[in-house]
Structure 1
């Protein structure tokens, strides 16, 4: 087994552990006024708590300086697993202060990068979208699949820890606005949707292969895979019809994050394209619009205090 395979497997296991620890899987409209306000309040609280945490802010400075001799405690859970430190999954060995997404191009195959700009990457998801593909899945229970068909991520090229990191929303939130616009620009290109769909298809097929090695009977596995493939074809057609406004752009604020590097989740809002996907992360999913409103409100308040 290659180190790249080991690395991907460890990341998926981390996602599995986190997903299984939260057991709600009900539908939530993130843009319902009451829910939207809750997400604004959640972001503001997590942001403020992080920024007054002197230990976390010190660790943040050391992490951005790539200090491999520092003992990371507050940010430690988002770092690369200790067993992979010093091992090369991509072209460069992992360091103690690395995360899964830091210097992404040096630690991952080029095929995972679907688009790149001066400031960010659009990357594929290592988890498939369909909960039925996971051996531990039982009706009514949660599994580690993505938040919707076509769920992908947009990450900054430079070291930004999380949406609570001051640099994430510096300069009137220029970075996260660019990240959203990057995905939209990619989606509007002739081959953008097809590239993302092909990445989804590859992960989907890999998960189907794992199903074949499960303890299910051959007959039941064949029946399940046949149904999965049929649904994939139907969802693919619906997915390719999506417009930019049909996607959710959102964040998971520290400490409810799985990877210690800013990443924007992008997935369809349409219920049909989330039918077989997890909603267990919705409780912590903060739309970019909520983040921008909080930042704009705070900027206006500060300006008002200054003029007074």
Structure 2
């Protein structure tokens, strides 16, 4: 895959300008960064849903109004979900399963096609800062994203990284299976056995392909085509800066969603705009335009 670098640069510039030209955005950012739970947030997206404020996910303190699902991540989640940490950032695996087959209309408990909810590749990692940083468009320099990229590359070159990644991917897949199976039984016990049989057959195929992906990744990790990118406001789901790390090789995206490629702006484009450095117009191995 390749992308037209200038398109991504121009799009990030446009989104960044729109964000900073929004009336009241500076005040709202200050409240967000100060963890002001009395402020009425109207511009920033991806905060914890209002029904969850004051509740907990059984780990850590209750969610606050200014929180996101990535705020103080190690405090609110199972320690095993954090694959690596530095003083400034954490690497986690996308909580969604990578395989769209487990989100198709004949599998999802709602009978709706939810394949866009799957991960973007067999390996879909996220690098998130420890501090509260809203989004790439709200940043003023490249210091933090440079640290995030360095952190990932250091982790990726470690001997144990492939095992950690494949374990996290397997965990996400099995968690999706369990969620779907339980929903069948809650929704309609009379149809649950038939739907469970179909789910088990599909899940067996998913496990086989995931094992093949894992073996291929272990064998070719040093040459794997890894791309880094950002979803910029307002095209993001969580209101906390996070860098997507995805295997771009089509074979690793066979069963994953392509629905979010259009909004994934390359690290190089964001770095160029924030850093003002001259770079070549086409970056190989990036996102499709």
**SS at 1:136's partner residue?**
coil
Higher relative contact order (CA 8 A, sep 6+): 2
| 1:246 is aligned to 2:217 | no
- Report the TM-score when normalising by structure 2: 0.84
How many residues end up aligned between the 2 structures?
264
- Report the TM-score when normalising by structure 1: 0.79
Mapped partners of 2:229, 2:243: distance in 1: 6
| 1:233 is aligned to 2:211 | yes
Aligned match for 2:176, one of 183, 190, 207: 207
| 1:278 is aligned to 2:257 | yes
1:211 to partner: Cα distance: 4.4
Mapped partners of 2:148, 2:21: distance in 1: 26
Correspondence for 2:102: 133
Correspondence for 2:127: 154
**SS at 1:155's partner residue?**
strand
**Relative to 1, partners in 2 of residues 1:93 and 1:210: Cα closer, same or farther, differing over 3 Å?**
closer
**Relative to 1, partners in 2 of residues 1:135 and 1:299: Cα closer, same or farther, differing over 3 Å?**
closer
| 1:145 is aligned to 2:118 | yes
| 1:63 is aligned to 2:36 | no
Correspondence for 1:305: none
**SS at 1:106's partner residue?**
helix
Aligned match for 1:291, one of 253, 270, 280: 270
C-alpha RMSD of matched pairs (Å): 2.3
**Relative to 1, partners in 2 of residues 1:221 and 1:102: Cα closer, same or farther, differing over 3 Å?**
closer
Mapped partners of 1:56, 1:66: distance in 2: 15
Aligned match for 2:85, one of 86, 99, 116: 116
Correspondence for 1:101: 70
- Cα deviations across residues 207-245 of structure 1 (Å, max 9, x unaligned)? 233444545545433332221121111111122222376
Mapped partners of 1:162, 1:245: distance in 2: 27
| 1:222 is aligned to 2:222 | no
1:142 to partner: Cα distance: 3.9
**Relative to 1, partners in 2 of residues 1:217 and 1:49: Cα closer, same or farther, differing over 3 Å?**
closer
- Cα deviations across residues 16-71 of structure 1 (Å, max 9, x unaligned)? xxxxxxxxxxxxx3x333xx321111111111111222312210011101111110
Q: How does 1:154-193 map to 2 (within 5 A)?
A: 154-167=127-140, 170=141, 173-193=142-162
| 1:85 is aligned to 2:53 | yes
Mapped partners of 1:88, 1:48: distance in 2: 36
1:141 to partner: Cα distance: 7.7
Does the CA contact (< 8 Å) of 2:217 and 2:224 recur in 1? no
For structure 2, which runs of at least 5 residues remain unmatched after alignment? 108-112, 185-191, 280-289
| 1:266 is aligned to 2:266 | no
1:199 to partner: Cα distance: 0.6
Mapped partners of 1:52, 1:225: distance in 2: 48
**Relative to 1, partners in 2 of residues 1:227 and 1:97: Cα closer, same or farther, differing over 3 Å?**
same
